[in-house]
Amino acid sequence: MKRGFRFIALLIVLTIISSLCSQAFADPQPPQQEMDIPAIQRAIIDKQLEVERVKAEIKALDVELEIAIEAYLGIQQELEKTQRELQEARYRLEQAQREFDAQKDILNRRISNIYKHGDYDVLEILLNTKSFTDLLVRLRFLIIIGQQDADILAKLRRQKEKIRKIKMELEALKQEQLQVRLQLEAKKTEIENKLAEREQYLANLNAEIQRLIQEEEERKAREQRELLQRLLQLGINGGITIEPGRVVHTALKYLGIPYLWAGDGPEEGFDCSGLVMYVFAQHGVTLPHHSATQFTMGTPVEIEELQPGDVVFFGNPVHHVGIYIGAGYFVHAPKTGDVIRITRLSERLDYAGARRFPAKPIPQPPLE
């Protein structure tokens, strides 16, 4: 009886131990509530995603705006060319008219002289020859007189035709100028509408998103100041040459100046091609206020051969431009609402190429 009781007790103990061991080695099953992402964390992620989506929307608007602005500048450049051609055509017309009047005056005097004094008696001239040689001389004289009259008439006809063609060219240029002006006004309206659309988009963002975007802008401003400080400290050792009187030194003077579409001066602001044009003008290089045209000028440079002072271009077609300062950085006027800043070249995914211009150093005052 005791032996049976002991066996049953041992069996119960083994069963309990087995149960405990199976629970100990089983996969842990955390409570369901620990598997869920906390609501606060989900809200943060959703907010971050919303901010990124908003930034992408703003960037898309900025690219559209940049393309429209560069198109406007291209049309403006075309208008200036047409105006120069018009001025030249008017000058040529005045010259041609003066020549025509002068030739007409000569012919009128010749006709008047013939009317008053009578023309030469050709027969009398020929009959009064004293020798065969004299006859040839007189014939040659008569031929010259006839040729002179004929030449004057021919010149008048040619000059009259020239004036007619210049007038036609002038009229065509006036029509072209009118069309270009209309295009310019249409593009200006498009830009103003896009600017209004951008402002409206920003205004419609909720306060929390606006605050987050503002915080990011402030962070970027701090980074820009720190970046500039580091670059100035690195100097030549970091691959950046900020030599007084050189292009990079001139360009960095305008850091922090606001972006202004179609702007070309430090008083009010710059757009991207306006900044490049203004900087290089100080170094003896004349460039148009249009990035796509700037891209057709100068000497092409491979990205591996970039040097401080080279001009870098972006977009397809080209619609943005900046000045390379070395070590993978460039200075530019980025977009509406921003300021002239330094940016890493690798941040732009639309790099199009670079050009080098024969920039002259600006003379510096002697050190005292």
Which pLDDT tens digit goes with each residue over 7-50?
444 445 455 555 544 554 444 554 444 445 566 666 666 666 76
Mean pLDDT to the nearest integer, 81-99: 82
**Separation CA 269–CA 274 (nearest Å):** 9
**Separation CA 123–CA 115 (nearest Å):** 19
Q: Report the phi/psi class of residue 360: left, alpha or beta, with left for phi > 0 and alpha for psi in -120 to 50.
A: beta
Architecture of domain 224-356: Alpha-Beta Complex (3.90)
Higher-confidence residue: 149 or 254?
Answer: 254
Structure tokens given for 53: 């989506």
Give every CB contact of residue 337 below 8 A, 6+ residues apart in sequence.
Answer: 259
Mean pLDDT to the nearest integer, 307-326: 94
- Cross-strand pairs, 342: 331
Mean pLDDT to the nearest integer, 347-367: 89
Which of 56-65, 150-159, 312-321 shows the lowest mean pLDDT across its residues?
150-159
What pLDDT is recorded for position 352? 96
Mean pLDDT to the nearest integer, 333-353: 91
**pLDDT above 70 as % of the chain:** 69
Higher-confidence residue: 76 or 225?
Answer: 76
What pLDDT is recorded for position 33? 46
- Cross-strand pairs, 324: 330
- What average pLDDT is seen over the chain? 77
Give every CB contact of residue 103 below 8 A, 6+ residues apart in sequence.
Answer: 152, 155, 156, 159
Q: Are 352 and 314 in contact (CB under 8 A)?
A: yes
What pLDDT is recorded for position 166? 81
For the cut 50, the answer to whether the pLDDT of residue 328 exceeds it is yes
CATH number of 42-203: 1.10.287.1490
Q: What is the pLDDT of residues 165-205, one digit of tens each?
A: 888 887 887 888 778 778 878 887 887 888 788 878 777 77
For the cut 90, the answer to whether the pLDDT of residue 275 exceeds it is yes
What pLDDT is recorded for position 289? 93
What pLDDT is recorded for position 340? 93
Q: Domain residue spans in the chain? A: 42-203, 224-356
Higher-confidence residue: 291 or 206?
Answer: 291
Mean pLDDT to the nearest integer, 210-216: 75
What pLDDT is recorded for position 257? 92
For the cut 90, the answer to whether the pLDDT of residue 318 exceeds it is yes
Give every CB contact of residue 266 below 8 A, 6+ residues apart in sequence.
Answer: 254, 257, 278
Give every CB contact of residue 289 below 8 A, 6+ residues apart in sequence.
Answer: 73, 76, 77, 262, 264, 273, 274, 277
Which of 96-110, 185-199, 268-282, 284-298 shows the lowest mean pLDDT across its residues?
96-110
- The yes-or-no answer to whether 42-203 and 224-356 have a common fold is no
For the cut 50, the answer to whether the pLDDT of residue 302 exceeds it is yes
Mean pLDDT to the nearest integer, 275-281: 97
What pLDDT is recorded for position 242? 80
What pLDDT is recorded for position 276? 97
